[in-house]
Amino acid sequence: MSFKSFEDLRAACLDLPGGSDAAANAVARRQDTLTKPQGSLGRLETIAAWLARWQGREMPKLDAVKVFVFAGNHGVTAQGVSAYPSEVTVQMVANFAGGGAAINQLARVAGAGLDVIPLDLDHSTGDFTQVPAMDEKTFLAAVSAGYDAVSKDLDLVCFGEMGIGNTTPAAAISTALFGGGAEKWTGRGTGVDDAGMIRKITAIEAGLKRHADSLSDPIKIAAALGGRELAAILGATLAARRNNIPVLLDGFVCTAAVAPLARLHPTGLAHTIAAHVSAEAGHRRLLEALGLPPLLDLGMRLGEGSGACLAVNIVRSALECHAKMASFAEAGVSEK
Question: Active-site positions?
Answer: 304
Distance (Å, rounded) from C-alpha 219 to C-alpha 215?
9
Distance (Å, rounded) from C-alpha 310 to C-alpha 293?
16
DSSP state for residue 327 in the 8-state scheme: B
- Rounded to the nearest 5°, which phi and psi values hold at 148? -75, -15
Cβ-contact 234, 258 below 8 angstroms: yes
Quote the crossing angle between the two packed helices 252-264 and 281-290, to the nearest 10°. 20
Which among 34, 102, 118, 21 is positioned nearest to 68, based on CA atoms? 118
Which among 247, 235, 230 is positioned nearest to 67, based on CA atoms? 247
Identify the bridge partners of residue 327 per DSSP, sorted by sequence position: 34
Sign of CA dihedral 274, 160, 119, 210: positive
The DSSP result for 28-94, as a single string, is HHHHTTBSS-TTTTTHHHHHHHHHHHHHT-SS---SSEEEEEEE---GGGGGS--SS-THHHHHHHH
Cβ-contact 261, 269 below 8 angstroms: yes
Which among 159, 201, 188, 177 is positioned nearest to 303, based on CA atoms? 159
Cβ-contact 117, 68 below 8 angstroms: yes
